[in-house]
Amino acid sequence: MSRNMLENDFASDEEDDDFNPAPVEESDNEDAPRGQAGGRGRDNRAQDRGDDDDDEENGAGGDEAGGEDDEEPEDYEDEEDDEDDEDAVSGRPRKRRRKPGVHNFLETEAGVDEDEDEGDEEEEDMEFGAETHPDDADALPDGAEMDDRRHRQLDRQREHEASLDAEKQAQLLKERYGRNRAAAADAVVVPKRLLLPSVDDPSIWGVRCKAGKEREVVFAIQKRIEERPPGSRNPIKIISTFERGGAMSGYIYVEARRQADVMDALQDMSNVYPRTNMILVPVREMPDLLRVQKSEELNPGGWVRIRRTKYQGDLAQIEEVETNGLAVTVRLVPRLDYGLNEDSGAPIIDPKRKRAGANAAVSRPPQRLFSEAEAKKKHSKYLSATSGLGGKSWGYLGETYVEGFLIKDMKVQHLITKNVNPRLEEVTMFARDSENGTSNLDLASLAETLKNSTAEESYLPGDPVEVFKGEQQGLIGRTSSTRGDIVTILVTDGELAGQTIEAPVKTLRKRFREGDHVKVIGGSRYQDELGMVVQVKGDTVTLLSDMSMQEITVFSKDLRLSAETGVDGKLGMFDVHDLVQLDAATVACIVKVDRESLRVLDQNGSIRTILPTQVTSKIAPRRDAVATDRNGAEIRHGDTVKEVYGEQRNGIILHIHRSFLFLHNKAQAENSGIVVVRTTNVVTVSAKGGRSSGPDLTKMNPALMGNGAPGGAMAPPSRNFGRDRLIGKTVMVKKGPFKGLVGIVKDTTDIQARVELHTKNKIVTIPKELLVVKDPITGQTIDMHRGRGGPRIPQGSSAAPPSGWQGGRTPMASADSSRTPAWGGATSSRTPAWGGLGSRTPAWKADGSRTSNPYDGNRTAYGGAGSRTPAWNAGARTPYGGSSGSSDFDAFAAGSRTPAWGAANTGNRTPAWSAGASNSNKGYDAPTPGATYSAPTPGAYGGAPTPGLSAPTPGAWADSAPTPGAYNAPTPGGPSRRPYDAPSPADFDSRPYDAPTPAMGGIAATPGAGPYDGDDGGPRYEEGTPSP
């Protein structure tokens, strides 16, 4: 037993010594002294080599040692199979040999003893034994002979042992096991080239195999060799086999004397294809096969990237490299969502599946340091704390987190070790910030590693540079040309000023002064950022971004002097601070332009990240947009305003959009200083260019004001039809001698109205501004905007408005826009009534809603038909009652005013309508386009429209408004008394304006629609004047 141990010691000893030298040398020198081991020794070596080659990227000596560790015992065990009972691989054949009833104990003892005295001959002895043993075992009965032989051997050995003294014994041992050491010593002397293979040496064939199965094949061959060892009946005659891993995938290499041997060895083996063409490796290239590539040296503290998993592409710092170079411990910034996005109901997806992996990569959480607080929220069951010597660490979901970082053991294969190019901002994540905000990151060393990746194009002619290394250290100049990585510099300072020198890129760095305006040109996520240099420290430059007012630290190589001002960051058509339309109701201001996305601040103050495709349109800046602040003062683009409530933010108006202001505040870092506020919440601090103190002089000049001032609205289309809606309204006088009196408007001009006062039964002329429209029944003031705006609208905002419109355009505009729906409402509310009346065509409806018909209309059945607001009715009706003398009108008026109207109406009208419908006037009563327009004789209409058109006076309209049917119905006598009532075609002929001819309707509708829309849609008013 003790011998056994001794032997093991030796083995490890010799490995240490043996495998430390360079691989090539060692592989060869092992052969030489191990002469007696012959092919077999080499064979095994090569297998080992093959193993090593798998991991050759990490290679190096230590690796080999690791490989040998496992394999080495096999060497001996094959040679001296008795002694080694630990090895599982060769256990089987050995056992078979040993089967004939020898106790383990004895066997071991015997084996050991044999070793010592028999030395080399023992091998042959054993091999012979091994060869004959199975056969003998079969042939002979378990017998005493075998036992006897063993016993005799043992006896002999003991005798021999006793005869040797200790010293000699030691020497023997040394000679026996220490040969490799001796060989190693020899190798130093033996020139390497003598160890190179020659033509006399066995050849190496490259054999195709299934890619990725190389190692399996090698192991299979090894196994086969064990099954059919040399000296057996059908030995495998190859000498060695190995594979070269990733470098030559799909090939294994077999060393043998003859090709047939290779074929034989690989016969019927899976995954290897010896029958395809085998490559005979030229002698010259043989050493290359065994050359271990110098792999990227991994040092703790170095940077690598992760090849796969959700950390794919992430930068990692090497914490520790295991001695075999195969596994490293890396430090990562974790990407965890702490189960927040976990869908508990989701089916469990096999994490190995590709799709899941892809998803993980796409929607992986951002890099953030581990936070136990967050982990506790939802995943406390997965969280465990351990505190060790190095401080507290957390176990979470099977991973270890220390100081917020993920500490992970990874195989080198899963790391990208070349061209890592750590970016500064990535690296800074690893910097453990100290309290004062300064990081303990060694930027200098990082810069050094990055220097290697400095592209020559980062130096352009004209760049100010400084030589910071080498003989020329301290020179300052400007680059004049670059060639490869040699830069020609025109020296600007110092003794050499004016001369040109050449310097390699590596010794240069760009030079910036504080205050320089620079642009980040690449190599970091700050690309294209503009800013001013605030600090220069060696290779790193801190600049203050123009946009975000944040300090950015980048390497000077990533900077360039910039003459650009203002906007940086462009994404196609979008610039920072642009106003964009997101959807019909939302506008937003761009606060940041990333490479593919935009960050916007919308009008509601929320920040979104959107894609450029999500932007409906860009809103062109309107510098002349005007709004009013809380105090009613005019605010424009460029003014400085301040919030009244809340945070009292202030800023310069960047955009005015309806009632929202986008302000820019330089002192604010977030959102690039953009703030969104409502116009009603701000007060003016100062206006641009000192405009604030008092209104614009040009505006104070009444002369300028009067004539529609430049920039004012285009002159509205002149009034060409309809009449002032104020006519017929009940109004109250606000001011003057008639103050407080109520009356009815009988007639109007642009600025004045003739009002028939209730009290005095007298018509007085009063300026329109002094009138307030009242509800005749309730006496309530009718909404000014609606009441006043309303009547004006059909006039196409004609003469009356100017002063009002021009002077206070902004509020009026809002009134206008607010009126729009009201009108729509009014119209639509009326529409069903019209519809109820049934047979009117759209032309009629439009007409009715627009013209003054409705007001006079209570004369007509449909006029009173009720969908009108009380105001309208009142306004329209009252004068009727008062002014019209005819009884039938009275009846109508009465009927229309009272609740009984409905009854009266239906009672009267329905038959009337039907009557109308039944007689020749049907066409007019039901002026469906087809019927109406086609039915009448062309002559009648041809004559009719002209005067009607040319004189669309209220009177004309009033006259034309009534439908014949309506008049016809109640009083058959009516027509005779009032010619215009007459429904006869003759009458129409004579009084064309009576006839609601299609021409009238048609034409009226058209101009009516024009001004109407113009007012309501109000581009004129809305544009410049966002409503407050």
- Sole residue written with tokens 């007409």: 847
Q: What's the gap between Cα 818 and its chain centre?
A: 40
Q: Smaller CB distance to other proteins: residue 502 or 514?
A: 514
Q: Smaller CB distance to other proteins: residue 530 or 966?
A: 530
Q: Show the tokens assigned to 871.
A: 């105001």
756 contacts 733 by C-beta, under 8 angstroms:
no
Torsion of CA 734, 735, 740, 746, to 10 degrees: -70
Nearest approach, Cβ of 685 to other proteins (angstroms)?
A: 12
- CA dist 360 and 743 (Å) reads 79
Q: Is the dihedral of CA 236, 239, 243, 249 positive or negative?
A: negative
Nearest approach, Cβ of 930 to other proteins (angstroms)?
A: 53
Q: Smaller CB distance to other proteins: residue 633 or 935?
A: 633
> How many chain residues bind other proteins (CB under 8 A)?
28
Nearest approach, Cβ of 994 to other proteins (angstroms)?
A: 49
Which range, of 282-290, 508-516, 867-875, 973-981, touches other proteins by CB under 8 A? 508-516
Q: Smaller CB distance to other proteins: residue 535 or 778?
A: 535
* 806 in contact with other proteins (CB under 8 A): no
Residue numbers 530-559 binding other proteins by CB under 8 A: 532-535, 542, 544, 546, 549-551
Nearest approach, Cβ of 691 to other proteins (angstroms)?
A: 8
Q: Which of 364, 368, 517, 734 binds other proteins (CB under 8 A)?
A: 517
Angle at 88 between CA 85 and CA 90, to 5 degrees: 80
Q: Smaller CB distance to other proteins: residue 390 or 702?
A: 702
Q: Show the tokens assigned to 522.
A: 């690449």
Which range, of 163-171, 571-579, 665-673, 908-916, touches other proteins by CB under 8 A? 665-673
**What are the DSSP E strand ranges found in 25-176?**
none
Q: Show the tokens assigned to 120.
A: 């080399």
- CA dist 187 and 199 (Å) reads 22
Q: Which of 162, 362, 667, 715 binds other proteins (CB under 8 A)?
A: 667
CA count, 13 A, side-chain hemisphere, 915:
17
- CA dist 627 and 536 (Å) reads 45
Which range, of 165-173, 245-253, 493-501, 526-534, touches other proteins by CB under 8 A? 526-534
Site track 688-707 with other proteins (rule: CB under 8 A), x = hit:
-xx------xx--x-xx---
800 contacts 767 by C-beta, under 8 angstroms:
no
Q: Smaller CB distance to other proteins: residue 521 or 536?
A: 536
Nearest approach, Cβ of 848 to other proteins (angstroms)?
A: 44
Nearest approach, Cβ of 539 to other proteins (angstroms)?
A: 16
Residue numbers 922-981 binding other proteins by CB under 8 A: none
- CA dist 768 and 752 (Å) reads 5
548 contacts 440 by C-beta, under 8 angstroms:
no
- CA dist 694 and 703 (Å) reads 18
318 contacts 329 by C-beta, under 8 angstroms:
yes
Q: Smaller CB distance to other proteins: residue 544 or 633?
A: 544
93 contacts 232 by C-beta, under 8 angstroms:
no
Nearest approach, Cβ of 881 to other proteins (angstroms)?
A: 51
Nearest approach, Cβ of 704 to other proteins (angstroms)?
A: 6
Angle at 622 between CA 621 and CA 624, to 5 degrees: 150
**What stretch of H or E contains 43?**
helix 38-54
Q: Smaller CB distance to other proteins: residue 389 or 563?
A: 563
- Write the Ramachandran bin of 490: left for phi over 0, alpha for psi from -120 to 50, otherwise beta: beta
* 715 in contact with other proteins (CB under 8 A): no
Q: Smaller CB distance to other proteins: residue 458 or 540?
A: 540
Q: Smaller CB distance to other proteins: residue 665 or 730?
A: 665
Torsion of CA 300, 301, 306, 309, to 10 degrees: 80
Which range, of 21-29, 36-44, 281-289, 527-535, touches other proteins by CB under 8 A? 527-535
Nearest approach, Cβ of 517 to other proteins (angstroms)?
A: 6
Residue type, 851: T
* 498 in contact with other proteins (CB under 8 A): no
- CA dist 641 and 631 (Å) reads 12
* 377 in contact with other proteins (CB under 8 A): no
Q: Smaller CB distance to other proteins: residue 552 or 732?
A: 552
Q: Which of 883, 888, 1012, 878 is nearest to 962 (CA)?
A: 888
Q: Smaller CB distance to other proteins: residue 220 or 518?
A: 518
Q: Which of 160, 192, 666, 762 binds other proteins (CB under 8 A)?
A: 666
Which range, of 25-33, 157-165, 666-674, 911-919, touches other proteins by CB under 8 A? 666-674
**Residue 865 backbone dihedrals phi, psi, to 5 degrees:** -70, 15
Q: Smaller CB distance to other proteins: residue 14 or 546?
A: 546
Q: Smaller CB distance to other proteins: residue 117 or 568?
A: 568
Q: Smaller CB distance to other proteins: residue 198 or 436?
A: 436
For 75-97, give the DSSP string: HHHHHSTTT----STTHHHHHHH
Residue numbers 415-454 binding other proteins by CB under 8 A: 436
Nearest approach, Cβ of 613 to other proteins (angstroms)?
A: 31
* 12 in contact with other proteins (CB under 8 A): no
The contacts of residue 409 (CB under 8 Å, 6+ apart) are 327, 328, 329, 330
* 198 in contact with other proteins (CB under 8 A): no
Kindly state the DSSP code that residue 929 receives in the 8-state scheme: I
The contacts of residue 499 (CB under 8 Å, 6+ apart) are 490, 491
Residue numbers 553-592 binding other proteins by CB under 8 A: 565-566
- CA dist 183 and 193 (Å) reads 16
Q: Which of 390, 515, 737, 938 binds other proteins (CB under 8 A)?
A: 515
* 158 in contact with other proteins (CB under 8 A): no
Nearest approach, Cβ of 649 to other proteins (angstroms)?
A: 11
* 53 in contact with other proteins (CB under 8 A): no
Burial class (CB in 10 A: 0-12, 13-18, 19+), 292: buried
Q: Smaller CB distance to other proteins: residue 641 or 733?
A: 641
Q: What's the gap between Cα 815 and its chain centre?
A: 43
Nearest approach, Cβ of 642 to other proteins (angstroms)?
A: 13
Residue type, 880: Y
Nearest approach, Cβ of 864 to other proteins (angstroms)?
A: 52
**What stretch of H or E contains 402?**
strand 399-402
Q: Which of 9, 70, 145, 514 binds other proteins (CB under 8 A)?
A: 514
Q: Smaller CB distance to other proteins: residue 687 or 969?
A: 687
Interface residues with other proteins (CB under 8 A)? 436, 514-517, 532-535, 542, 544, 546, 549-551, 565-566, 666-667, 669, 689-690, 697-698, 701, 703-704, 710
